[in-house]
Amino acid sequence: QIEGLVVDRDITLADLAGTIEAFTHAFFGPGFSSRLRPSYFPFTEPSAEFDVQRPDGSWLELGGCGMVHPNVLRAGGLDPAEWSGFAFGFGIDRMAVMRHQVDDLRDMYADDIRFAAQF
């Protein structure tokens, strides 16, 4: 998994959504877009899962994200009235599936040299 954490003054959910969308375009290309769906993680509030839309219109969940929970900021010695942030985690296997247009995630773990030789 790839994880990220951004903490600064005046960080908003719009910053998180913009970061996810910018990453989607940079990593997968301009034919892809992202969306956030409400979810729950104890260390973020609000929390979301994010999906990437393939050029064929189908969606694949890529990871989880959210605004850093005030208690997490406090535990790090930061005042949540002054500081905010967002966190995200991407599933690297799903990133590879999307980027290389693999039909079935299980193929990534099948130990088939014919499959691996494509890369």
Domain parsing of the chain, residue ranges: 2-114
- Report helix angle 13-28 to 92-99, nearest 10: 50
Q: Which two tokens stand for residue 79?
A: 């005042």
pTM of the model: 0.83
Is the link from the previous residue into 46 a cis peptide, with omega within 30 of 0?
Answer: yes
Convert the pLDDT of each residue in 8-58 to its tens digit: 999 999 999 999 999 999 988 888 889 999 999 999 999 999 999 877 888
Residue 89, pLDDT score: 96
Contact 33, 53 (CB under 8 A): yes
Convert the pLDDT of each residue in 47-106 to its tens digit: 999 999 877 888 989 999 999 999 999 999 999 999 999 999 988 887 887 787 787 878
Torsion sign, CA atoms 26, 49, 17, 89:
negative
Residue 67, pLDDT score: 99
On whether the 2-114 domain is CATH 3.20.20.70, my answer is: no
